[in-house]
A and B are shown apart, each in its own frame.
Chain A
Amino acid sequence: MNKTLIVLLAVLFSQVALADVHSIKAFLADPVAVLDEQGKQQRELARKDAPTQPLPVLQYNPALDLVQVELAGQKVWLDTMDVRIEPALNVVDLQCEELIKSKKKDSNNKSTIGFGAGCNQ
């Protein structure tokens, strides 16, 4: 029991293990910077040479915003700015409200321009 707990805690408090959950769906930058675990550039990878199939994310380092993947059999780190990861690493803990039927008196703040679409609150 204790061993299980220790393993779980170790996983939780080390760098976030993301195997088989998140994957790189697209390489957005060209070239893509291939980094070491400290974020130091090792080499560059032309987008045309990058894998076309989804690439599983092995680890995520939130402090440096880097993900570890396996490229040509080698474990390397990539900057999340260079790639599209799905499901996204940055999400919200907000639920959408049930839609309220519009009453005559209902009105929205039509003078405002929002950051983007939102839930109907």
Chain B
Amino acid sequence: MKGYRLAASLLACAVLSGCATLKGADQAFMNLVGPSTQSRVKGHYVDNTDVRQYYKLDPQRQSQQRLSYDGHAVPAAEARQQNLVDIPMLQVYLQGIVTRLSKGWPGELPTLQVKITDSRSFGPSADPYGTIFVPLGMMDNVGSEDEIAAMLGHEMSHVLLHHHDRMAAFQQQKEMFTTVASTVALATIAADTGVDRSSGTMKLFSKDPAGTQKTIGNTVLYTALANTFSDQVWSTAWGRTQEDQADLLGTDLMIRAGYAPRAATHSLERLSDFQGKQKPLLTGFLTARKNAMQDSLQQFNLNRFTKELDVLVKDGLTTGIAATTQYFNRSHMSTLDRDQELREYLQREYRQERRARVNTQSWPKVRDTPQVAKAIQGYKDAYFATDALEKKKVPEADAFVRRALSSPVKDQPGIRSVAYTVRLAQGKSAEALKELQAIKDWSLAGPATYDLMISYHLKRGDGEAALAMIDKAERHLGSEELFITDKLLASQQMKNAQQVQTVLRKCEQYPTRKANCQKLAPVKA
């Protein structure tokens, strides 16, 4: 028993190293969300003192960002994730809207560049480097140019107001989830571990290996999911103040550019509809996650640990669950709240402008231009192919992908990677590869598409071809970290010891990659 307590104490020490984070979990969560901004704004938001501080660009900040982006130093998690879409006419049109909106900004302007992605999501997004990503799903669902302007203006505002700086704080909080997961995993191991003294020496054994594994597996999985959700689903709740500010500034900019601000409420309504569709999915997720956490708590035999550990861990976990639930609920409220707050702001500050009508002609004119319409349809067909494949309807997927492959965007990564998947499902590996090789412009490819090609070369033992592809990925995605382990493998395949050591040294700079690299290529003494 003494031995067991020792083992438990050791585990407790490991767990307690994260206690400070656990204890402050509730405050950490609460700190992230402020009250609604709209009601406190007097006059036009763009003229407010809070906003004026961003009129002048900080050259040092700008150059740091630029250097980072071009210098392969973008962290893997910050690299673009989707394939880009090349529809020149649409690109020019969207960039034109950004330029028009930019004229309403009284300060210095950072570089703002629109890029279209192949996502079937609705909301655009912006990165700290001034890139505004516009998903095709959005273009397929907006009703007017004014609505596009509202959404682009919102994203521009995140960049203009330096909101990404606050994202760093957001990222830190996400680590809390990981700490909770580690705690549960360690505690479960400890609780299910017995001591066998029959052999004369102390031996630890698992009393319920399957149960332990299941709990750990679930906890880690749900934590990973929670982190995934944080970006995409909870972003509104976590950054509510930011969203409010971006709504305000975006609306000011669109009014100054002559757009009808009512379009902002149209897009918020659509966003609400889009989010509403995933509500049952999320509720199921949350229940499952909560159950997993509670199962973990039940399996966690608290009597076997010190009282202090009991209180800290228990509080930490329950606080985490309570706070998560609260934010989950809030996130669902937020879009309609934002809409209402925005309408009140418009009634207060823009009584005339709020009555302006949207121009329903200009966007359909661009959208229905053959070159744009055919390209959008091509991507839609590719999406339908993926959808059919998920439903295991391979012939249907084949029909859709054939249509996508006859569109003007047939050689773009978003189309060819779908064709690759369809061919694989048909058992045609050689043809699948040809689909990837048909990609004409790799600068449009996202990490997943690069990954397909790099993995193919590595599997064949063709380190040289893999390295060439990794080089392309690094250049176009701006991240060395993304494929650093693949780079190590490729260097090993080429039997280039010096290069292996160089890559290994670089890899050691990335905490999440270090362990894998060391496993692949142990450092020579």
Interface residues of chain B, those whose CB is within 8 Å of chain A, are 74, 76-82, 119-129, 133, 137, 140-141, 143, 151, 154-155, 158, 163-164, 167, 171, 221, 224-225, 227-229, 231-237, 239, 242-243, 246, 262, 265-275, 277-278, 281, 285, 331, 334-336, 338, 340, 343-344, 346-347, 354-355, 357-358, 360, 390, 451
Contact = CB atoms under 8 A, between A and B. Distances in A.
A115 B355 contact: no
B261 to A, nearest CB: 9
Contacts of A95: 277
A101 B81 contact: no
A8 interface: no
Contacts of B121: 94, 118-119, 121
Contacts of B237: 117
A115 B125 contact: yes
A114 B163 contact: no
A14 to B, nearest CB: 17
B224 A102 contact: yes
Max chain B CB contacts within 10 Å: which of A98, A106, A116?
A: A116
Interface residues on A, range: 35 or more
Contact of B81 (A99, A108, A119): A108
7 contacts: A90-B273, A102-B228, A105-B451, A109-B80, A115-B124, A115-B271, A117-B232
Nearest to B268: A116
Contact of A96 (B124, B155, B278, B355): B278
B77 to A, nearest CB: 4
B262 A81 contact: yes
Contacts of B277: 94-96, 119
Nearest to A85: B269
A62 B133 CA distance: 29
Given A65-B262, A95-B277, A119-B121, A114 B78 contact: no
Contacts of B120: 94, 97, 119, 121
Contacts of B141: 92-94
A109 B127 contact: yes
B158 A113 contact: yes
